[in-house]
Amino acid sequence: MMKNIFIYPNLRKDSARDILQPVCDQLRRDGVRLMLPKQMRVVPPIIEDADYMKTEDAVQFADMAVVLGGDGTMLRLAREAAQNQLPLLGINVGHVGFMTELEPAELPEMEKLFTGEFSLDSRMMLHVAVQRGGRIVYENDALNDIVIAKGTAFRVVCVGISADNEEVTRFNGDGVIAATPTGSTAYGLSAGGPVIEPSAENIAVIPICAHALAAKSFVFAPERSVSITAACEGGSEVFISADGGQGFAVRPDDRVIITRSDLQTRLIRLKGNSFYRILQQKL
């Protein structure tokens, strides 16, 4: 039974605050502890019987997290949740909500959390390390994708891609995306990349607006170590971002090394919908 439940709303969405009270009402049980982010202590609605605590503390104590938002909100919590093997249940108050499980009208489905009628969907993550002069200057993990892109609109990025130290391809363009199967239906899809079912656990590398007809996407086995170099014409900056987070400036001599992460994101499934059914509903 899920006894310690962390509720993580996107406070920038009125719709997330609107369903907070109904979500708490559905989850209340004898012996169940509800936790909310500390900053919500002064943000209505005030949940009187909840414990307010820092997110980094809550993810250590909780048995699961209920995320009120869209895919972006799920991504913001995914890394900390994965580090603590914390399962996530998403309730969609965003736009697409591909990773979320429930819509606001489906809150009664949460009863299954207490009857054991749910499954856990483990999702592969990526690890990225930027190597500069023989040392690592940046590291991160991502559930969706690692994006390397130009910082100036009117410049071209020269991209080189290798797998296990063997050159694969070079091209000029706006940048490159390295995506998990989960991320293959996000930015990678809009850039013309393949849709990969989650159980395949491959690494997709997708050019962004390549300036060559021959530039193609590649799908690598999960055990590959993918190395990327990127330099912008005229010395303009190139940035790397994990799951849309804060950018880190990459230098021309840096090597961006992408591998399968040791972390996994665990998503709670209550309805038993297949990946293909979700794909048809959401896209």
CATH code for position 10: 3.40.50.10330
How far apart (Å, rounded) are the C-alpha atoms in residues 195 and 187? Answer: 11
Q: Which residues are annotated as a binding site?
A: 71-72, 76, 144-145, 155, 174, 185-190
State the CB neighbour count (10 A cutoff) for residue 26.
Answer: 16
pLDDT value at residue 98: 86
pLDDT value at residue 133: 93
Q: Which of 274, 271, 283, 279 is nearest to 90 (CA)?
A: 271
Q: Are residues 103 and 9 in the same domain?
A: yes
Radius of gyration of the chain (CA): 20
- Is 30 among the domain residues? yes
Write out the catalytic residue numbers: 71
- Is 269 among the domain residues? no
- Is 158 among the domain residues? yes
Buried b (16+ CB within 10 A) or exposed e, 236-253: eebbbbbbbeebbebeee
State the CB neighbour count (10 A cutoff) for residue 115.
Answer: 8
Query: Do 152 and 231 touch, CB atoms closer than 8 A?
Result: no
Q: Are residues 184 and 73 in the same domain?
A: no
pLDDT value at residue 275: 82
As given in the structure block, the two tokens for residue 94 are 């965003």
Query: Do 157 and 212 touch, CB atoms closer than 8 A?
Result: no
Q: Are residues 131 and 259 in the same domain?
A: yes
Residue 49, SS3 per DSSP = coil
How far apart (Å, rounded) are the C-alpha atoms in residues 175 and 186? Answer: 16
- Is 242 among the domain residues? yes
Q: Are residues 103 and 178 in the same domain?
A: no
Q: Are residues 108 and 129 in the same domain?
A: no
Range of 168's domain? 125-263
Q: Which of 248, 193, 190 is nearest to 220 (CA)?
A: 193
pLDDT value at residue 259: 98
Q: Are residues 33 and 151 in the same domain?
A: no
pLDDT value at residue 77: 97
Last residue of a domain, one of 117, 139, 156: 117
Q: Which residues are annotated as a binding site for NAD(+)?
A: 71-72, 76, 144-145, 155, 174, 185-190
- Is 132 among the domain residues? yes
**Is pTM, for the whole model, over 0.85?**
yes
As given in the structure block, the two tokens for residue 196 are 């990969």
- Is 75 among the domain residues? yes
Under-70 pLDDT residues of the chain: 1
Q: Are residues 229 and 156 in the same domain?
A: yes
Q: Are residues 110 and 138 in the same domain?
A: no
pLDDT value at residue 139: 97
CATH number at residue 138: 2.60.200.30
- Is 273 among the domain residues? no
Q: Which amino acid type is present at position 68?
A: L
Chain centre to alpha carbon of residue 143: 4
Q: Are residues 27 and 134 in the same domain?
A: no
How far apart (Å, rounded) are the C-alpha atoms in residues 70 and 97? Answer: 5
Q: Are residues 80 and 172 in the same domain?
A: no
Last residue of a domain, one of 92, 117, 142: 117
Phi, psi of 232 (to 5 degrees): -100, 140
**What is the tally of structural domains in the chain?**
2
Task: Provide the residue count of the chain.
Answer: 283
Q: Are residues 104 and 129 in the same domain?
A: no
Last residue of a domain, one of 58, 91, 117: 117
Per-residue pLDDT tens for 39-77? 988 888 888 889 999 999 999 999 999 999 999 999 999
- Is 63 among the domain residues? yes
Distances (CA, A) of 3 to 6, 71, 126: 10, 25, 30
Q: Which of 36, 230, 256 is nearest to 142 (CA)?
A: 256
pLDDT value at residue 280: 82
State the CB neighbour count (10 A cutoff) for residue 159.
Answer: 25
pLDDT value at residue 1: 66
Going 144 to 150 to 156 to 160, the CA torsion angle's sign is negative
Q: Are residues 208 and 151 in the same domain?
A: yes
